Amino acid sequence: MVESVRELIKAHADVRKEVYLDIENSAPVPEEVVNEMLPYFNKKAYGNPTLTHKLGWEAYETIILSAKKVGEHIGVESPEEINFTPGETEANNLAILGTCMSRRNNGRKVVISEIEPLSIINVCKMLENYGFKVEKVQVDKEGFIKIEKLKEKVDKNTVLASFSLVNNEIGTVQPIKEVFETVKDINSNTIFHIDLSDSYGRISFDVKKIPVELATLSSYKILGPRGVGALYVKEGLKIERILEGQIGTQKLWPGIENTPAIVGFAKASELAFENFEDNVNNMRKLRDRLIEGILNNIEETILNGPRENRSPDNVNISFLKCEGESLTIELSLKGVYVSSGSACTRRVLQPSHVLTAIGRKYEEAHGSILMKVTRYHSMEDIEYVLKVLPEAVNRLRTIYGSMGG
């Protein structure tokens, strides 16, 4: 296995330019973030933040200040409302399991959409084993939640509603204010959880304007370090821990806090919201050029998700008569790095649940490519992608045709 991987890496020896668009799976960490983290490994604040000595106090202060920096961009006023976790998956699990376990005598229904990320869908499957009923709200062909269907799902037994502001695969920006108000109008006691992992740093959201009780944030999706995320828990809301162990500054997540990663998350947040409007507008221009360049120059292509009300970084295209995994390899040999289908399901021979939910056929879903731009990309990067992409698609379609496809 290792030898075959080494051979694949050797095949890239002639790559002269690289464009990394696989932000959905992982991301390069900017030098400013790395430099901010480095001292916390061995020079300062490396103590356990629960201990009463100088390095412990420094670590405690560092975590509180980092929580303030991360939370202030979504309107959080108290740093104690930000709970750091090892990532967005853990934050989503904590939000859903913690809420349902603490309110299991108040109702046994959870409402989500059918295109939520697997960190929400799979934990809801687990809840069904404990007697909870999970209702999935249908979406339209662009991934927008059908409000009338939502009204049918929420009732007096609904303990939790969980929705993403932006879909991680197709970039659909939900009308979240309408979704929130619809749920609360039917049952004001329903706890509302929003996953902001794919919107934080790209689309404004304020917990004071839309007073959700829970919100998930991701570090690596704003080019911070992996291994850290956060869950906003509204002051006064009681949810249960889902793990037990040594309790530190994070009362809902046991264990010694990863101070360097938390510091990196805070720095990445600062950079993501610095010159926010300019950064978002630039991402939108790059996104639109990439979408238009593909749809106008490569035949038999389909944009997945909406043209309007789309996340400024998201491009998801299906290439007919072209298998997505093969296309990722072809592009990789040209120095362009993308992902095929959902990041969480790409090694499973099943089409993306998001793409099938919006009506894509099996072959359309399997030919999909997901690309995400950042503030660090340039128009030169996009033009390079548009240069090599048609060559890769044509080569694979020629092979497909020769096989009688």
**For the chain, what is the mean pLDDT?**
93
Express each pLDDT in 29-75 by its tens digit: 999 999 999 999 999 998 988 888 999 899 999 999 999 999 999 99
Residue 170 lies inside a defined structural domain of this protein:
yes
Same domain, 160 and 176: yes
Q: Looking at the domain assignment, is residue 302 inside a domain?
A: yes
User: Domain check: are 247 and 366 in the same one?
Assistant: no
Angle between helices 276-297 and 259-273 (to 10 degrees): 80
Domain end point (choices 273, 290, 317): 273
| 266 & 289 share domain | no
84 and 204 inside one domain = yes
Asked if 236 and 290 sit in the same domain, the reply is no
Of 254, 273, 292, the one marking the end of a domain is: 273
171 HSE (CA, 13 A, CB side): 28
In terms of domains, do 70 and 183 share one?
yes
Domain that holds residue 348: 2-21+276-402
Q: Which residues pair with 171 in a beta bridge?
A: none
Same domain for 348 and 202: no
Indicate whether 213 pLDDT > 60. yes
CA distance 286 to 258: 35
Token output for 383: 């033009």
Minimal CA–CA distance to 85: which of 193, 198, 190, 233? Answer: 233
| Domain-located, residue 264 | yes
Domain annotation covers residue 26: no
322 is catalytic: no
Residue 105 is predicted with a pLDDT of 79
pLDDT of the residue at 403: 64
pTM to 2 decimals?
0.94
- Flag whether pLDDT at 299 surpasses 90: yes
pLDDT digits (tens, 9 = 90+) for 156-173: 999 999 999 999 999 999
Give CA–CA dist 45/54, Å, rounded: 8
User: Which of 245, 273, 301 finishes a domain?
Assistant: 273
Query: Same structural domain for residues 46 and 142?
Result: yes
CATH number, residue 168: 3.40.640.10
Identify whether 13 is part of a domain. Answer: yes
**What is the rounded average pLDDT of the residues 390-401?**
90
Q: What is the pLDDT of residue 180?
A: 98
Tally of structural domains, the chain: 2
Based on the fold, state whether residues 251 and 130 are members of the same structural domain: yes
**Cα(313)–Cα(172) distance, rounded to whole angstroms?**
11
The pLDDT of 264-284, averaged and rounded, is: 97
Looking at the fold, whether 146 and 289 belong to one and the same domain comes out as: no
- Residue 134 phi/psi, 5-degree rounding, is -110, 120
CA distance 315 to 321: 19
The answer to whether residue 7 scores a pLDDT higher than 70 is no
Residue 17 lies in a domain: yes
Spatial distance between the Cα atoms of 241 and 239, rounded to a whole number of angstroms: 7
Could you tell me the CATH number of the domain that includes residue 288? Answer: 3.90.1150.10
**Same domain as 311, residue 260:** no
Find, among 369, 344, 279, 331, the residue nearest to 19 by Cα.
Answer: 331
The answer on pLDDT for 23 being more than 90 is yes
Same domain, 175 and 119: yes
> Does 41 fall in a domain?
yes
pLDDT band at 3 (very low <50, low <70, confident <90, very high): low
